Structure 1
Amino acid sequence: MDEQLLNTPGLTDFTEPPAPEGESPYVAGAQPGRVVHVVEPDPDWPSLGAAVLERVRRALGAADVHHVGSTAVPGLPAKPVIDVDLLVGDPGDEAAYVPALEAAGFRLTVREPWWQQHRMLRGSDPAVNLHVFATGSPESARHRLFRDWLREHPEDRDRYAAAKRAAAAAATAAGEHVQQYNARKEAVVRDIYARLFASIPQA
């Protein structure tokens, strides 16, 4: 595992503050996705992810950007959406990156300054969730560590795959949105993180 990521402050703190009263994370009428559709692994996902990273780099120049999420793990079923993390010095300075990304075909849909300064833009062709965090963000560090752990531990990859399929089926049957699907698989995600953190050699 990446030692630098393992030393990220706040790595094991999963606290997510709620939106302040009266605030919504969604921008200009955007809403959480309501179609929870997990599909079998697509061998094209890695190349699609690489193309999205290059698209972001062309828009911004040298950018600290990473393909994360289930589409970055070979053999793992996923929603057919490429998840990408972009790390910037100050996510609150939207003028430094949002206009260039919008010109490249992305659209700002989420603004959560109360949670690690998170922003998200969506793209299409392929479908993309482009998450923006501050450099050194513990959430982005967790994303990359989780991705790498699943790549290296097929038993946890398969366990997570089963949890994703079950959560998607239950969420679809209940008419739930993507955040509720995420909540249904959260216990398995946290348990895998616990295994990951327990494997870190103690100084």
Structure 2
Amino acid sequence: MDRKRKRRRADVTGLELVGGPERLEVELHDYDERWADVYREHRARILTALADADVAIEHIGSTCVPGLAAKPIVDIVLVVPDITAEEDYLEALLASGYVLRVREPGHRLVRTPARDVHVHVYENGDAAVEEYLLLRDRLRSDAGDRALYESTKRELLRKRWEDMNDYADAKSEVIAAIKRRARAIAP
């Protein structure tokens, strides 16, 4: 999915956070092998919903890293040919039971009503997808960075977060350092 095609229309220009900010009220759980099963189940669900679309799907986030404690939310990245052509993917995802949470430039987020699966939608060629995969692969392969990331999350979760996005932003510095180390050893 390296080819980039011309968008059908201009993308949205701002952030639409459906339902507004949400307080983060989850805890870290020890790694659970069932998270991989949840991913496979939702991968199949997405592929069925988007049967005629040229998409790529990957398991991302902490739930895809064996041995890493995580919030029990399975994160999936879905790559579509044109993020602005929502009629090609969004309607089908909503019809298959996901709900829209975020619409912002270059990114859509749908999730289950139970909020236990988040599907991040990006356009083919978006650098964010490679960044997710870089972090995932580094955490899978480096025990030191995996431990650092887990301890950072544990420390941050000792605080009260009025918005889950603020918690995610607070991890940015550590994530950036881990990705720098991954790039330094990349072939």
Same fold by TM (over 0.5)? yes
Does the 8 Å CA contact 2:99/2:113 hold for their aligned counterparts? no
The 10-residue stretch of structure 1 (117-126 or 70-79) with the greater mean CA deviation from structure 2: 117-126
Task: Output the amino acid matched with 2:180.
Answer: A
Aligned residue runs from structure 1 range 84-95, under 5 A: 84-95=76-87
Deviations 1:106-144 (A, max 9, x none): 01111112xxx1011011467111111001111011111
Q: Secondary structure at the match of 1:165?
A: helix
Residue in structure 1 matched with residue 146 of structure 2 by the alignment: 157
One-letter amino acid matched to 1:69: G
Match of 2:95 among 78, 99, 103: 103
* TM-score using structure 2 length: 0.85
Instruction: Tell me what 1:185 maps to.
Output: 171
Distance in structure 2 (CA, Å) of the matches to 1:75 and 1:59: 31
- From 11, 20, 25, the equivalent of 2:16 is 25
* 1:109 match: secondary structure: strand
Using the size of structure 1 for normalisation, the TM-score is 0.79
Instruction: Output the amino acid matched with 2:17.
Output: Y
What secondary structure is seen at the aligned counterpart in 2 of 1:169?
coil
Work out which of the residue numbers 101, 110, 117 in structure 2 matches 1:121.
110
Kindly indicate whether the alpha-carbon contact (under 8 Å) linking 1:35 and 1:177 is maintained by their aligned counterparts in 2: no
Match of 2:121 in 1: 132
CA-CA distance at 1:91 after TM superposition: 0.9
Deviates more, 1:43-52 or 1:117-126: 117-126
CA-atom RMSD in angstroms: 2.1
Summarize the Cα distance change of 1:58–1:30 in structure 2 as closer, same or farther, 3 Å threshold: farther
- Answering whether residue 60 of structure 2 is matched by residue 68 of structure 1, we say yes
The answer to whether residue 133 in structure 2 is matched with residue 144 in structure 1 is yes
**Structure 1 gap ranges (5+):** 6-18
CA distance in 2, matches of 1:144, 1:32: 26
1:45 and 2:35 aligned: yes
CA contact (8 A) 2:16 2:102 kept: yes
Distance across 1 between alignment mates of 2:144 and 2:166:
25
**Structure 2 unaligned residues grouped into runs of 5+:** 3-11
Secondary structure at the aligned position of 2:69 is classed as coil
TM-aligned CA deviation for residue 51 of structure 1: 1.0
Amino acid at match of 2:129: S
